[in-house]
Amino acid sequence: MSDLSHLVNLLLLFLIPLGHVSLRQRAPKVTIGLLIVNTIIYFISFNVEVAQQVAMIPATLKLELAQQPLLISWLKQQGKAKPEEVLQQVKPEERAKWSCEFDRDLAAGRVAPKDSDEYLRWHEARLNFEEKQNWTVWFRFGFRPSAPDLIGAFTYMFLHGGFWHLFWNMYYLWLLGCNLENVWSRKYFLLVYLAGGLAAALTDFLVRSGGCFADTPAIGASGAISAVMGAFLIRYWNTRLRFLFFTRIFLLPVWLPLSAWFLRQLYYGFHFFDQNMSVNFWMHVGGFTFGMLVALGFRHYRVEEEVIAKELRRQDERDWKKSEAAAAAAQALARPADLVLGVEARQVGRLEEAREHLERAAKEFPFNLDVHFELQQVLQRLGLIQEANAHQGAVVGALLEMGKTEEALARYHRLLQVAPDAVAPGRSQYRLARLLEEKREWFAAAAAYRAFATREPQDELAPKALFLSGLLLLDRLHQPAQAAAMFDYLRQRYPDHPIQQHVTPVRERALARQRKEEV
């Protein structure tokens, strides 16, 4: 390697990326999950691998002892004058090359006859060594181009050969993966990450499968992380990265350091081609190229705008519901002061005072079931039955927000028995209708959809609720006249809504079925 390469490598040791100016908006759950999974697997697999390597020492020594005379004979065939001294002085890299060529000549019978005592002794030691090697973690779950398999092409991404190997891989995943996950959603980011690891394995297979070291297992997440780096280069090409060099922090545009890193992998990939290196440069090249191509494809086909944007909306809605459910659970366990005062006032008969305290508590803690229960009792004792039933609807909505769907449905059914017109507040009623439809309670679902649209006519889901109610009346309850009336009302109430393109054909179907029944 040239002095310039040594100098570049030395400088890079002190050039540490710190982050970038682009800020994420969503919790990077997949990135954090990958960090945790890789770390856990490392501490388990590495310790098992070390124990297995220690247990293999006798088999390794036996193989080396049996191989020694054959290797000396082979060196003599290569024209080495003093093979014993050569074996003592040779560098590890050159010894690895010799080992590959030696194995080929030995397998071809050019070193010693296959029926000789030396060969048979070596062959027995080799079989014993390979039997133990095949059970080691890295050999079983790493990716070997000599014996590629789909399981190894996935599992190799979660194995690491040492703490610093793990640390730097996870460090770069954290720096770049968070923002890519933010704009590509957890689902598509994970797909690109795993597919990038597969692309890196495929590149390794194409480069090493016919070489001397095709049986050496590749391990590490760097192939998948290289795909993240390539995608980040295209997606955030002009974002500036912060670097620390000794005590100085400075900014560089993303395209400069990532392009330089990629060219460096290409250079070393060709420079050390068909050599047994601890760094798999071609995996980096394959993963990085795959990531760039994916990002370019996303940009060309507007995947972010037309596909990922929808997934992000669904993801954000799920996150919002989970956060709401967590907040609701916390509120359900709270014991607000107004609740205490309201209970005390009710116990001594001051019902109006109790109502005031409990209504304040209900506004501040809308998911606290104790508050709603007490307020309902007070309203009933005051003779305000309609308000009490309405508050029971609020209890149903609170249960839905806390994820207690079965209890919410049970309460809703009981409420309908005493107050058929009662509804849950806001979109909780729409969720109730969806749940009833999933339960195949067609009549209750149709009525719940209609009640939601009646109570919340300005909600953007109101036209859809009317449409779904009409479909249930037509296809599930076989009431074409009522369905046609529902579609007519939908056409009059929301004449310019995009859903009208779906209303016309089903309305015609309802009218045709109605005429057929009349005949």
Quick check: is 307 in a domain? no
**pLDDT the model gives residue 76:** 81
| Contact yes or no for 138/278 (Cβ under 8 A) | no
Tell me the torsion sign for CA atoms 109, 111, 113, 117.
negative
Integer Cα distance of 515 and 513 in angstroms:
5
**pLDDT the model gives residue 332:** 47
Quick check: is 460 in a domain? yes
Q: Which residue has the tokens 């919410």?
A: 408
Q: Report the candidate in 78, 311, 58, 290 with the shortest Cα–Cα distance to residue 183.
A: 311
Tell me the torsion sign for CA atoms 416, 422, 428, 431.
positive
Let me know whether 411 and 438 are in one domain.
no
Q: Is 109 helix (H, G, I), strand (E, B) or coil?
A: coil
| Contact yes or no for 433/414 (Cβ under 8 A) | no
Let me know whether 345 and 290 are in one domain.
no
Q: Report the candidate in 235, 240, 319 with the shortest Cα–Cα distance to residue 18.
A: 240
Q: Which domain holds residue 449?
A: 426-519
DSSP 212-272: TTTTSPB--SHHHHHHHHHHHHHHTTTPEEEEEETTEEEEEETHHHHHHHHHHHHHHHHHT
Which uninterrupted H or E stretch holds 359? helix 351-364
Quick check: is 312 in a domain? no
Let me know whether 252 and 110 are in one domain.
no
Let me know whether 241 and 119 are in one domain.
no
Q: Which residue has the tokens 């047994």?
A: 276
Of the residues 300, 329, 362, the one at which a domain ends: 300
Let me know whether 26 and 159 are in one domain.
yes
Let me know whether 225 and 296 are in one domain.
yes
> Which of 183-213 are b and which e, b meaning 16 or more Cβ less than 10 Å from the residue's Cβ?
bbbbebbbebbbbbbbbbbbbbbebbeebbb
Q: Report the candidate in 230, 215, 9 with the shortest Cα–Cα distance to residue 126.
A: 215
Quick check: is 42 in a domain? no
Let me know whether 384 and 452 are in one domain.
no
C-alpha 260: how far from chain center: 29
The upper half-sphere exposure of residue 424, i.e. CA atoms within 13 Å in the direction of its Cβ, equals 26
| Contact yes or no for 331/399 (Cβ under 8 A) | no
| Assigned token pair, 518 | 């009349």
Quick check: is 245 in a domain? yes
| Contact yes or no for 392/376 (Cβ under 8 A) | yes
Q: What is the CATH number of the domain that holds 494?
A: 1.25.40.10
Cα dist from 70 to 77, 115, 117, 124, 213, whole Å:
11, 13, 11, 14, 20
The count of residues in the chain is 519
Q: What is the CATH number of the domain that holds 163?
A: 1.20.1540
**pLDDT the model gives residue 297:** 95
Quick check: is 305 in a domain? no
Q: Is 16 helix (H, G, I), strand (E, B) or coil?
A: strand
82: buried, middle or exposed (CB in 10 Å: 19+, 13-18, 0-12)?
exposed
Quick check: is 49 in a domain? no
Other beta carbons within 10 Å of 515:
10
Cα dist from 30 to 156, 174, 233, whole Å:
18, 10, 20
| Contact yes or no for 209/145 (Cβ under 8 A) | yes
C-alpha 16: how far from chain center: 27
Other beta carbons within 10 Å of 363:
10
Cβ-Cβ contacts under 8 Å for 319 (sequence gap 6 or more) = 26, 27
Number of domains in the chain: 4
Of the residues 270, 300, 330, the one at which a domain ends: 300
Cα dist from 495 to 195, 487, 500, 507, whole Å:
47, 11, 7, 14
Integer Cα distance of 33 and 36 in angstroms:
5
DSSP lists the bridge partners of residue 250 as 243
Let me know whether 258 and 371 are in one domain.
no
**Average pLDDT per consecutive 10 residues, the chain (519 residues; last block may be shorter):** 48 58 71 96 94 92 87 80 71 69 80 86 90 91 91 95 92 90 92 96 90 86 95 87 70 84 90 76 95 95 87 78 57 62 82 83 71 76 77 74 77 75 80 86 90 89 91 90 91 88 88 82
Of the residues 135, 159, 191, the one at which a domain ends: 135
Quick check: is 46 in a domain? no
Let me know whether 154 and 292 are in one domain.
yes
Q: Which residue has the tokens 């996303």?
A: 298
